[in-house]
Amino acid sequence: MFRVSILTFIVTMFSLSGYSQDLKMPTIFGDHMVLQHDENVRLWGWSRPNSVVTVLMGDLNVITESNESGEWEIYLPKQQAGGPHTITVDSRQTLTFEDVYFGDVWLAGGQSNMEWQIGANIDNMEAELNDAEYPEIRFIKVAHDISVVPLNDFKQPAEWKVANKENARNFSAVAWFFAKHNHAEKNVPVGIIDDNWGGTPAESWTPLPALTSVPGYEEDARSYLEDNTDWSQRIEENNQKNAEKYQRVQDTENFLSFGVHLPDYNDAGWENLNLPNSDPLGEFVWLRKTFTLDQVSNAQLSFGNPGKFTVAFINGEQVYVKIWSDDPEIIDIDKSLLREGENLIAIRTVEDWANRTFIGSENDFWIQTENQKIPLNGTWKYSNLIEPPMPEVIRYENESGFLYNAMIHPIAGYTIKGTIWYQGESNVAANQYYNDLFETMIVSWRNVWNQGDFPFLFVQLANYQERYDQPTESGWAKLQEAQTQTLSLINTGMATIIDIGEANDIHPRNKQDVGYRLWQSARHVVYNEDIVYSGPMYRGHVIDGNKVIVSFNHIGSGLVNKKSEGGLPGFALAGSDSVFHWADATIDGDLIILESDEVEHPVAIRYAWADNPETALYNFEGLPAVPFRTDDW
């Protein structure tokens, strides 16, 4: 602990040395920014030690003095929503911020589903972009960065942007729809701090000292706090490897020099492999297969959902390339690329994330001409030894505290209305720790912000992956449960989206409903509106013989089965043997009656307890019931 104190002191002194002569403020302050209305707003920065700092805005004049290290802070008194304003900060030198508005400020944090931009093919993308001229909605995108110690400012530039069709493409889609509701319904400007990073776990967004008391993370946090490594050199070397990795992963030309895509390439020494593969393939994977055509015509090719860096060739000619793009359902092949008799298909595929790739799918793996449909599943030639292995890169953005230090700590204390958060996918494998971890993260942010228990609204994980015919165990559901448990913290709210996920895509493109449901939660939790802001949530149950009677909170105007025909799906019962069976569920007023012919003496209930459950229980207000279980098995 002593060593990290020295390291932190050195880093802090180095940082402040640049501020000892010049007036400076953190990057979060800039032209077009939004400051929180109706709150005392904190401004801070650095100047000459023991110097007078004056902040001017219209008739407002606030004066403070920097300390011996040159640090200063002041609080602007509460301002009504609106603008524009010009703010001038003077201390022998002058900083001027133009086009400043007061409104509601939200920090939009999390991983890729919060980071996902409007321009990344969300539902109804073009129409949404055509409705993006909102000059009083602004956002600032925090650049991805890491640090082993807390930073006082971002290392990379960031600018506040005014919403328009061009800028909105790069706006977090979830945050955008939330902001539009906020702006329209409260008639105030809205500022979004877009501060997120795809694929990152909650521990990377949590201060290291706080993690030393969180089960599952104590040793990791202490090891970083006590580490005396030259981190600048280590990170620079890792960055160089990462740059090389992505240059090779995204390459679509240099690998042609190996000639593997050509029909006359000798693959006699390659392994045989059955596709689609159930076990992941690693490194830069090459696959080759011949197929025979009776006659030539235009054709179509389908090979399911390949890795996100994939190139395909027919008889040596490229017919498909994918670099982080959506897949076409069908790939059209011109007849000029085909020949009667034997033809060759060659595929190069690689996954950057975990170096684990799959190719093909059972029902979507074929090539079809006008008179033939040839399945492509079965035996292929395979090698991952053609190209050098993928450079080994450490994802420091996933390490405890690294993102908090670089991307949260520099803005801690920027006066906000609250936080909206969409994350958890990267913590599913360690779901047993998530509730403690997530609550610790929220509390630690509130502590460092020094703004009380500011609102923290979050999205529960969407349904995802394969749907099973029978009740199953689910790490995904356990993570959702941990999120629900976090509602025990004051001023928290949750948007349940168990009904709008996609089985084959961890990034649902329906971001509109996510933003809307977060906003419904905000209306109640933040603005104290007496509305139905949540779907039905388990309250209790009574066992009556072989039946179970379940009651709910948040039923609004009543319970609804949205399934057009058949029963109410998603409920399961178990007896003392702990084996769950689907239950027949019936809505009876504000209650649900459950029974199962296979469970004579029920003792436990589960609802929507699966990665991708079939669900249909809502309230009349259109919000889905929250997954739950009554057991702890």
Q: What is the dihedral of CA 130, 134, 138, 140, to 10 degrees?
A: 10
pTM above 0.85, yes or no: yes
Report the 10 Å Cβ neighbour count for 341. Answer: 10
Could you read off the pLDDT of 514-558 as tens digits, one per residue? 999 999 999 999 999 999 999 999 999 999 999 999 999 999 999
Q: At what angle do helices 512-525 and 173-186 cross, to 10 degrees?
A: 50
Angle formed at CA 523 by CA 517 and CA 528, multiple of 5 degrees: 145
Q: What is the SS3 string spanning 319-341?
A: EEEEECCCCCCCEEECHHHCCCE
pLDDT at 47: 97
Q: Where are the domains of the chain?
A: 2-217+400-525, 254-383, 537-629
- pLDDT higher than threshold 70 for residue 327: no
Q: Residue 354: CA atoms inside 13 Å, Cβ hemisphere, count? A: 9
Mean pLDDT of the chain: 94
- pLDDT higher than threshold 70 for residue 265: yes
- pLDDT higher than threshold 50 for residue 11: no
pLDDT band (50, 70, 90) for residue 3: very low
Tell me the C-alpha distance between 524 and 510, whole Å.
Answer: 23
pLDDT at 308: 80
Report the 10 Å Cβ neighbour count for 321. Answer: 12
Which amino acid type is present at position 56? L
Which amino acid type is present at position 110? G
Could you read off the pLDDT of 31-86 as tens digits, one per residue? 999 999 999 999 999 999 999 999 999 999 999 999 999 999 999 999 999 999 99
pLDDT at 19: 40
Tell me the C-alpha distance between 481 and 475, whole Å.
Answer: 10
Judge whether 200 and 353 are in contact, CB under 8 Å: no
Q: In this structure, what DSSP letter does residue 488 have?
A: G
- Residue for token digits 């520099």? 410
Query: In DSSP terms, which residues pair with 495 in a beta bridge?
Result: 459
Which of 198, 284, 282, 286 shows the shortest CA–CA distance to 249? 284
Determine the average pLDDT of the residues in 458-480: 96
Q: What is the dihedral of CA 512, 515, 517, 521, to 10 degrees?
A: -170
pLDDT at 323: 80
What phi and psi, each to the nearest 5 degrees, are found at residue 295? -150, 160
To the nearest whole percent, how much of the chain has pLDDT over 90? 88
Determine the average pLDDT of the residues in 273-300: 94
Q: What is the SS3 string spanning 333-380?
A: ECHHHCCCEEEEEEEEEECCCCCCECCCCCCCEEEECCCCEEECCEEE
Q: What string of DSSP letters covers 378-442?
A: EEEEEES-SSPPPPP---GGGSTTHHIIIIIGGGTTS--SEEEEE--GGGGGGGGGHHHHHHHHH
- pLDDT higher than threshold 50 for residue 233: yes
* Domain 2-217+400-525 = CATH 3.30.70.20: no
- pLDDT higher than threshold 60 for residue 307: yes
- pLDDT higher than threshold 90 for residue 358: no
- pLDDT higher than threshold 60 for residue 9: no
To the nearest whole percent, how much of the chain has pLDDT over 70? 96
Q: What string of DSSP letters covers 271-287?
A: EEEEES-SS-B-SSEEE
Q: Which two tokens stand for residue 589?
A: 């007023």
- CATH number of 254-383, picked from 2.40.40.20, 2.30.110.10, 3.30.565.10, 2.60.120.260: 2.60.120.260
pLDDT at 566: 83
Tell me the C-alpha distance between 160 and 101, whole Å.
Answer: 11
- pLDDT higher than threshold 50 for residue 8: no
Determine the average pLDDT of the residues in 135-160: 97
pLDDT at 360: 80
Q: In this structure, what DSSP letter does residue 257 have?
A: G
28: Cβ–Cβ under 8 A, 6 or more apart, which residues?
Answer: 140, 154, 158, 193, 410, 411, 414
End-to-end CA distance of the chain: 39
Judge whether 146 and 405 are in contact, CB under 8 Å: yes
Tell me the C-alpha distance between 7 and 151, whole Å.
Answer: 12
Query: In DSSP terms, which residues pair with 103 in a beta bridge?
Result: 36
H runs (alpha helix) in 110-265: 112-115, 125-129, 165-168, 173-186, 208-211, 218-225, 231-249
State how far the alpha carbon of 419 is from the alpha carbons of 16, 124, 175, 313, 492, in Å. 29, 26, 10, 47, 10
Is 232 strand, coil or helix?
helix
Q: What is the CA radius of gyration of the chain?
A: 28
Is 209 strand, coil or helix?
helix
Tell me the C-alpha distance between 324 and 335, whole Å.
Answer: 28
Determine the average pLDDT of the residues in 139-161: 97
